[in-house]
Amino acid sequence: MVEYRDQNAPPGGPYQWGMVIDLDRCTGCEACMVACKAENNVRIAGEDEAAKGRAVSWIRIERYWEGEYPNAQLKFMPVLCQHCGNAPCEPVCPVYASYHTPDGLNAQVYNRCVGVRYCGNNCPYTVRYFNWFEPHWDEPLNEQLNPDVTVRSVGVMEKCTFCVQRIRAGQQTAQKEGRRVKDGEVTPACVQSCPTEALVFGDRNDPESRVSKLAESDRGFGLLEELGTKPAITYLKRIK
């Protein structure tokens, strides 16, 4: 297995994009979910398809009930693609549609994907979605589609990209100006909308970035990290 994430890369080396999700801030308001759909042209399934488990949401809020009345408790946890450094979805793809970029993104090449769904099967976070049908928008809802992002057709897998279109735009601007992307300059749609600032995004290779500093918190943990997937997302425990 190739180790993709270079934890020791010096500052000034390649970017390593990562996210921190503070569960002590998240309120389950779901602003992130709609923001992601709007930014990334995520299709609407409709009632019947949703009933068949075919609704798509690149980011979702999982909820965990504990205890019984009057001691019931509920916890929220935003879950999106973890952009694993050691991604279980990548080696199983027969056509290399699922691959790792040098800056730490788990990318999906839609026009290469042949829809065998091995990647979805192998993802322990169930964040990869299959397109069971051709996406459809009632006119004129289609006029709102973001031209920076492709619309995925029937038969391919899709998932959170860390809003790669925004990352690339940010990188290009920085490159033109002969500098590195500044901390906070690139913001995925979900991060931008989140009222409580539960989500923070940035370069893990920059020790001064907010995301690097927050990830050092002693509340930090990786989702199912015992699987050795080396997620690029650090969760911060909710305090009780």
Partner 1 sequence: MDLNRRDFLKVIGLGAAGSALPGCGGETAKLIPAVLPDEEIVPGVANWYASVCRECEAGCGIIVRVMEGRAKKIEGNPDHPLNRGKLCARGQASLQGLYNPDRIRGPLQRDGERGEGRFKPIPWEDAMSRWVAALQKHPGGAVLISRPVPGTLAGLFSTFMKEISGTVLFYEPSAERPLRAANRKSFGIDFLPDYDLANTTYLLSFGAPFLSHWLSPVHFGIAYGEMRQGRPAVRGRFVQVEPRLSMTAASADRWVPIRPGTEGLLAVAIGRLILKEGRAKLSREDRCRFEKFYDPFSIDRIANETGVAEEEIVRLAREFYTAASPLAIGGGIASEQTNGTDTLVAINALNLLVGNINQPGGIHFFQPSGFPASSAEVVGEQALLDLKNRTQKPSRALLMLYQSNPLYTLPPSTQFRQVFEEADFIVSFSPFLDESTAMADLILPDHFFLESWGDHVTEGIAPAVGLAQPVVIPRYDTRPVGDLFLSAANRFGGGLKERLSWTDFRTMVREQWQDFFALRQPAQPFDAAWVEALQRGGWWKPEGKPVPISQRGAPTAPEPARFEGSEKEFPFHFYPFPSMGLHQGEGANRPWLQELPDPLTTVVWGSWVEINPKTAQEYGLAERDLVRVISPYGVIEAPVIFFPGNPPDLISMPLGQGHTFYGRYARERGVNPLTLLAPLIDPPSGGLATGATRVRIERTGKRGRPVLVDQTGQGAKRHTEEGEA
**Segment 92-151, which members bind partner 1 (CB under 8 A)?**
126-127, 129, 138-141, 143-148
CB of 230 vs partner 1, minimal distance in Å: 22
Per the CB < 8 A criterion, the answer to whether 133 and 156 are in contact is: no
162: partner contacted, choices partner 1, ligand SF4, none (Cβ within 5-8 A by kind): ligand SF4
Is residue 11 within 8 Å of residue 202, measured between CB atoms? no
Burial tier of 161 (Cβ tally within 10 Å: 0-12, 13-18, 19+)? buried
Residue 47 binding: pick among ligand SF4, partner 1, none (C-beta 5-8 Å cut-off by kind): partner 1
**31 is an interface residue for ligand SF4 by CB under 6 A:** yes
H/E run at residue 203: strand 199-203
User: Which bin fits 164, alpha (ψ -120 to 50), beta or left (φ > 0)?
Assistant: alpha
DSSP string covering 107-136: EE-TTT-----HHHHH-TT---EE--S---
Which tokens belong to 174? 């920085």
Binding of partner 1 by 203 (CB under 8 A): no
Instruction: Determine the residue type at 39.
Output: E
Identify the helix (H) or strand (E) that includes residue 32. helix 31-40
Q: Which does 215 bind (CB under 5 to 8 A by kind): ligand SF4, partner 1, none?
A: none
Structure tokens at 208: 């001064």
Q: How far is the CB of 40 from ligand SF4 (least distance, A)?
A: 5
For residues 59 and 93, which CB has a smaller minimum distance to ligand SF4 in the complex? 59
User: According to CB under 6 A, which one of 34, 44, 55, 61 is a site residue for ligand SF4?
Assistant: 61
74 in Cβ contact with 65 (< 8 Å): yes
Count CB atoms within 10 A of the CB of residue 219.
14
Per-residue binding string, ligand SF4, 72-91, x by CB under 6 A, is: ------x-x-----------
Asked if 63 is part of the footprint of partner 1 (rule: CB under 8 A), the reply reads yes
Binding residues (CB under 8 A) for partner 1: these are 22, 24-25, 27-31, 33-35, 37-39, 44-47, 50-55, 57, 60-63, 65, 67-70, 72-76, 126-127, 129, 138-141, 143-148, 189, 192-198, 239-240
Which stretches of the chain bind ligand SF4, using CB under 6 A? 26-32, 36, 39-40, 58-59, 61, 78, 80, 160-163, 188-190, 193-194, 196, 198-199
